[in-house]
Amino acid sequence: MPRLTISLTDRTHRALKEAAARRNRSMGSIIEESLELRGIQPYDAVEDIVARARVKSRLSADDAMTLAVEETRRFRDGD
């Protein structure tokens, strides 16, 4: 598994460390889950999601991509 070094404020690092201990999880797993919840996924995973949505909705590829982008933005903005 690749490794990554990040810089966090002392406050954020302490909060992350406490959250990991409370949940009996690693700090890395909490960070990874947080990124996934923010929609950070490999491009091939996103393509798969769009393809499945297109098949179910009977949208064209362009319409499916437009809808996916709109919904992703709406989700990230919290609407």
Q: Could you read off the pLDDT of 39-67 as tens digits, one per residue? A: 787 777 777 877 787 788 888 888 878 98
Each residue's pLDDT tens digit, 2-13:
888 999 999 999
Question: Is this structure's pTM higher than 0.95?
Answer: no
- Which residue from 36, 61, 41 is spatially nearest to 50, judged by alpha carbons? 61
Report DSSP letters for 9-72, one per residue: -HHHHHHHHHHHHHHT--HHHHHHHHHHHTT---HHHHHHHHHHHHHHHT--HHHHHHHHHHHH
